[in-house]
Amino acid sequence: MVALTYLAVAVSAIASTVLGAPAPAADSPDFELGGDHLARRQDYTQNYKTGGSVNFSPGSNGYSVTFSGAQDFVVGKGWSKGTSRNITFSGSTTASGGTVLVSIYGWSKNPLVEYYIQEYSNGQGAAQGTKLGSFDSDGSTYDIWHHQQVNQPSISGTTTFWQYISVRRDKRPGGGTVTTQNHFDAWAKAGLKLGSMDYQVLATEGWGNAGGNSKYTLSG
């Protein structure tokens, strides 16, 4: 990441910097995909951790996580295929240290894009790069940010890709409904196009000795 907050991510025991994280390989002990208990609502569990204490518990329609001294993690629950669904989530997040954020988080391919719809952060969170404007959705104004990651880990290996970031001004750690189509339309109007959708989750993320907890249920 450039200019603002960096995430320290251990990849093959080599430190690099990246906001967010790709899904770990399918043979990772911290990776879950599919399963009968997930099929009714969400079929994808994001579980990425690199240091500190992160205790993640996925459930049939949500997740909980407690963390302390966390160097970098992204955990959450959602769908293996993203789309313009309306996502409703409810619960809470508290932060006692580091940087913590709650977002609708996902990827597209062709072009390769990592995207955030940031609903809460105890600081600036995902916002960095170039601010392209703002728009209103779901009871608040969101600011649009555009940032390039150069030679960083992604769902397509270490490469260069773009991040599209919507940051909600009126933070809502307790939840609400996210109309994802509004964000996709606003990004497209700003010249930021998505490709074919990969996974899409409600995620809690933390770095920089992050401490706190999250607990959410969701539907879409």
Residue 176 sits at φ, ψ, to 5 deg, of 155, -165
Residue 220's pLDDT band, with cuts at 50, 70 and 90, is confident
Is 119 among the residues known to form the active site? no
Q: Is 36 in a helix, a strand, or coil?
A: helix
Q: Hey, what domains does the chain have and what are their CATH numbers? A: 8-219 (2.60.120.180)
Q: Among 21, 54, 102, 114, which one carries the catalytic annotation? A: 114
The rounded distance, in Å, linking the Cα atoms of 106 and 81 is: 9
pLDDT at residue 171 above 70? yes
Candidate from 21-30, 53-62, 87-96, 175-184 with smallest mean pLDDT = 21-30
Question: What's the pLDDT score for residue 41?
Answer: 65
Is the pTM higher than 0.85? The answer reads no
Residue 97's H or E segment, with its range, is strand 86-109
More confident residue, 31 or 58: 58
Q: Any catalytic annotation for residue 114?
A: yes
Candidate from 16-25, 132-141, 176-185, 187-196 with smallest mean pLDDT: 16-25
Q: Which of 205, 206, 216, 217 is the catalytic position?
A: 205
Which range, of 36-40, 184-188, 206-210, averages the lowest pLDDT?
36-40
Asked whether the predicted pLDDT for residue 136 surpasses 50, the reply is: yes
Q: Are strands 113-121 and 159-168 parallel, antiparallel or unpaired?
A: parallel
